[in-house]
């Protein structure tokens, strides 16, 4: 098995300072006040590690960290912990997702320890989609915990050095914990309060659902700032290219929690090249998002359009303030 030949020397070395929860590069980028860029890697339906490296190589030099999804949509793929283990071998900075749907608290605490032992510094805690949405509806869901109770347990393991049972750990996992947020689903007034609860449970960063409505995001962030939450958590806004007006219509009808306004559909349908216009739209959204006070980065979700991520990053200029493009590295 041949791993990518990568340069592990970043042009700008960011220090690990007192107060950091992890040694990971992603946390250092955020704490240094940089506008962070993350993306998602769709795990393969395969046992071949070369497919993981091939998919990650698309993002090389363009993002600060890579999410490895965990049974997204209740569909089975290579596990998130395995993908993250492979990515750390090549020096990438992965964000491991843990879905409460598939494991009880014993298994999830073990995965936190195992991931940290393999060099994974970032973990995103999710409740998870119901099994009825996926291709194994006969599977038995677990949901022993939800995202908030998992955050509380993970934070206790790191900060107090104990399992939930109270049993002592020999070595605590130095992990940067995150959660998901959705400012674009009703009830809108409740969403900042929900964010505050996740922060109280231990969330240090959040990645939001797709943003296609800047006005809704601005209203959400206004309330977040009023509550002072933007000073307690790093907020990365989800964005992504739409392949066509037909795709956009299907997503807003069939994917819970995704809000796509009529004007976005109209913009795509009126374009000669709808796929190209979807990329243009994503670039425009990023440039507007980065101007909103309290937003610390963007999370680019380009399902089946991963090849477009470098173009989106380059054209949006979100890494222009860096000395050079940063690789998605652990260092």
- Average the pLDDT over 121-126 and give the result: 98
- CA-wise closest residue to 223 among 192, 184, 188: 192
- Return the pLDDT at 321: 76
**Torsion-angle region of 146 (φ positive above 0: left; ψ -120 to 50: alpha; else: beta):** beta
Q: How confident is the model at residue 314 (pLDDT cuts 50, 70, 90)?
A: very high
Q: What is the pLDDT of residues 62-91, one digit of tens each?
A: 999 999 999 787 788 999 999 999 999 999
DSSP per-residue letters across 235-263: EEEEE---S-HHHHHHHHHHSTT----HH
- Return the pLDDT at 73: 79
Is residue 133 a part of any domain in this protein? yes
- Domain holding 86, by residue range, is 26-316
- Return the pLDDT at 113: 98
Q: What is the DSSP letter of 202?
A: T
Please report, rounded to a whole number, the percentage of residues in the chain having pLDDT higher than 90. 82
| Greatest Cα pair distance in the chain | 62
| Contact of 38 with 208, CB cutoff 8 Å | no
- Return the pLDDT at 264: 98
Is residue 210 a part of any domain in this protein? yes
Is residue 150 a part of any domain in this protein? yes
Distance CA 20, CA 38 (A): 19
- The more confident residue out of 28 and 9 is 28
Is residue 328 a part of any domain in this protein? no
For residue 12, the tally of other CB atoms under 10 A from its CB is 11
- Return the pLDDT at 11: 33
Q: How confident is the model at residue 101 (pLDDT cuts 50, 70, 90)?
A: very high
Q: What is the pLDDT of residues 202-254, one digit of tens each?
A: 999 999 999 999 999 999 999 999 999 999 999 999 999 999 999 999 999 98
Distance CA 147, CA 251 (A): 24
Strand pairing category for 36-41 and 65-68: parallel
Least confident of 45-49, 125-129, 219-223, 261-265: 125-129
Give the HSE-up count for residue 1: Cα atoms under 13 Å, Cβ half-sphere: 12
Give me 27's structure tokens.
Answer: 């946390």
- Average the pLDDT over 142-167 and give the result: 97
Strand residue runs (E) in 127-278: 176-181, 205-210, 234-239
Q: State how many domains the chain has.
A: 1
Q: How confident is the model at residue 328 (pLDDT cuts 50, 70, 90)?
A: low
Is residue 322 a part of any domain in this protein? no
- Return the pLDDT at 216: 97
Q: What is the pLDDT of residues 161-207, one digit of tens each?
A: 999 999 999 999 999 999 999 999 999 999 999 999 999 999 999 99
Is residue 287 a part of any domain in this protein? yes
- CA-wise closest residue to 73 among 135, 141, 154, 3: 135
Is residue 264 a part of any domain in this protein? yes
Q: What is the pLDDT of residues 264-312, one digit of tens each?
A: 999 999 999 999 999 999 999 999 999 999 999 999 999 999 999 999 9
Signed CA dihedral, 169, 148, 127, 43: sign only: negative
Task: Kindly report the CATH number assigned to the domain that includes residue 159.
Answer: 3.20.20.220
- The more confident residue out of 1 and 229 is 229
Give me 221's structure tokens.
Answer: 């962030």
Residue-wise burial string across 129-159, b where 16 or more C-beta atoms lie within 10 A, e elsewhere: bebeebeeeeeeebeebebbbbbbbbbbbbe
pLDDT at 132 over 90: no
Give the HSE-up count for residue 111: Cα atoms under 13 Å, Cβ half-sphere: 25
Give me 112's structure tokens.
Answer: 């936190």
Q: How confident is the model at residue 5 (pLDDT cuts 50, 70, 90)?
A: very low
Is residue 11 a part of any domain in this protein? no
- CA-wise closest residue to 175 among 241, 108, 260: 108
């Amino acid at each position: 098995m041949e791993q990518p030949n990568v340069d592990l020397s970043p042009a700008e070395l960011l220090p690990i300072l007192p107060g950091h929860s992890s040694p990971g590069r992603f946390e250092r980028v955020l704490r240094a006040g940089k506008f962070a860029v993350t993306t998602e890697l769709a795990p393969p339906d395969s046992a071949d590690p070369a497919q993981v490296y091939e998919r990650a190589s698309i993002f090389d030099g363009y993002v600060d960290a890579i999410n490895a999804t965990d049974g997204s949509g209740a569909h089975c793929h290579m596990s998130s912990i395995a993908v993250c283990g492979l990515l750390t071998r090549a020096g990438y900075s992965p964000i491991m997702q843990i879905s409460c749907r598939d494991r009880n608290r014993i298994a999830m605490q073990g995965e936190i320890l195992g991931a940290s032992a393999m060099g994974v510094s970032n973990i995103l805690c999710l409740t998870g989609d119901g099994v009825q949405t996926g291709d194994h509806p006969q599977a038995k869901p677990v949901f022993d915990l939800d995202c908030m109770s998992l955050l509380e347990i993970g934070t206790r393991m790191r900060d107090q050095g104990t399992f939930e049972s109270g049993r002592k750990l020999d070595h605590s996992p130095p992990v940067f914990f995150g959660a998901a947020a959705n400012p674009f689903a009703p009830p809108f007034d409740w969403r900042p309060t929900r964010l505050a609860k996740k922060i109280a449970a231990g969330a240090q960063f959040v990645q939001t659902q797709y943003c296609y409505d800047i006005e809704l995001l601005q209203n959400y962030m206004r309330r977040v700032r009023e509550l002072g939450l933007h000073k307690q958590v790093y907020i990365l806004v989800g964005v992504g290219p739409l392949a066509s007006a037909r795709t956009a219509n299907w997503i807003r009808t069939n994917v819970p929690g995704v809000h796509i306004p009529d004007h976005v559909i109209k913009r795509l349908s009126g374009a000669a090249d709808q796929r190209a216009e979807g990329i243009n739209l994503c670039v425009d959204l990023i440039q507007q998002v980065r101007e909103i006070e309290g937003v610390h980065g963007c999370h680019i979700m380009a399902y089946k359009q991963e090849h477009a991520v470098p173009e989106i990053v380059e054209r949006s200029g979100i890494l222009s303030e860096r000395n050079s493009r940063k690789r998605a590295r652990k260092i």
